[in-house]
Structure 1
């Protein structure tokens, strides 16, 4: 009887440790609050076209898909968005298509106090050289859900408590464009046909 009791005690001590180790293997991107910038900088050279980076407000949901990494940034939304935008601008391999929630356009100071300050801080980040596309929130979430099944999505949550304020960066190839892509596809088809 003592043997079984001893065995049960050993198992009960070993199982939580195994579970914790498995959790670390499944989620190696667990990061402390202080190193979100370092995590993003390490990840950015690995990201390419079809990957996304999203800077969100506090209530943005923690998505369960393994293709989505969530970091927490204890800085202002404007500072986080500026850091992300700066890193994308400096990269040699990607640029970003930028999306925001269409619902954000309907927010007023009466409905959502603080939205004017948010817009002012974001206008400093997006200096007018970048085109922003506004889509319904649910459509953007659906895009991320679909993309994350094949490609990595990095979500950076901030402490901002205003709704519909997330900014979505869909990465694309900086050194190649759609016109050249169409040309090379047509030429490759012609080459196959003439072969």
Structure 2
């Protein structure tokens, strides 16, 4: 009986609104705002600090669902995006990068992924060897997933189509290092 009363009320309200032209708010359309990825990166990098990540990825990299992960789409090429991201990070006074690459990149042959040899050479020129560590791809993804539970991860996706070419910048404090931290902790234990 209650169901029929509620249904009757809904029908009456629907008919009444139709006859009197009720001005019920209409749902707004979703607005998609295109942002320039470099402008957004410039804004975000000022907010990021140690334990945050910035990642430059290839086209097949998945859109992750963790709320700590923000994805931007680059309109530049992969290498150009990588150089721009590195320059923006290097230009900050508060952060420095620890760089991770997929370990798999060293085991891909040119016949499996044309262009990989040139890309590896470009990576060596752009990144150098300092603070670059190669880790199995799934292990890096696990690191990102764990970090995204507490910290922001900014992923910049490119149109690059060579596998295992993502570059992971784990941000660290530029003006404080592990030696200084250890000295301070040792001093604290002494008191």
TM-score (norm 2): 0.85
Alignment of 1:40-79 (within 5 A): 40-79=41-80
* 1:27-176 to 2 correspondences below 5 Å: 32=34, 35-126=36-127, 128=128, 130-176=130-176
- Structure 2 unmatched ranges of 5 or more: 1-10
**Which is higher, the Rg of structure 1 or of structure 2?**
2
Following superposition, the deviation at residue 89 of structure 1 comes to 1.1
2:180 aligned with 1:180: yes
Aligned pairs for 1:8-23 within 5 A: 14=26, 16-17=27-28, 20=30
Instruction: Find the counterpart in structure 1 of residue 4 from structure 2.
Output: none
Give the alignment's Cα RMSD to 1 decimal. 2.4
Unaligned runs of 5+ in 1: 25-29
**Cα distance, 1:90 vs. partner?**
1.1
Size of the alignment, in residue pairs? 179
CA distance in 2, matches of 1:40, 1:130: 23
Residues 31, 39 of structure 1: 8 Å contact kept: no
Deviation at 1:68, TM superposition (A): 0.4
The CA distance in 1 between the partners of 2:16 and 2:146, in whole Å, is: 49
Is the 2:101–2:133 contact (alpha carbons within 8 Å) kept by the matching residues of 1? Answer: yes
Check 1:11–1:75 CA distance in 2 against 1; reply closer, same or farther (3 A cut): farther
Determine if contact 1:31/1:71 at 8 Å carries over to the other structure. Answer: no
For the residue of structure 1 that corresponds to 2:46, the secondary structure is: helix
C-alpha distance in structure 2 between counterparts of 1:31 and 1:100, whole Å: 32
Pairing partner for 1:3 from 5, 13, 21? 13
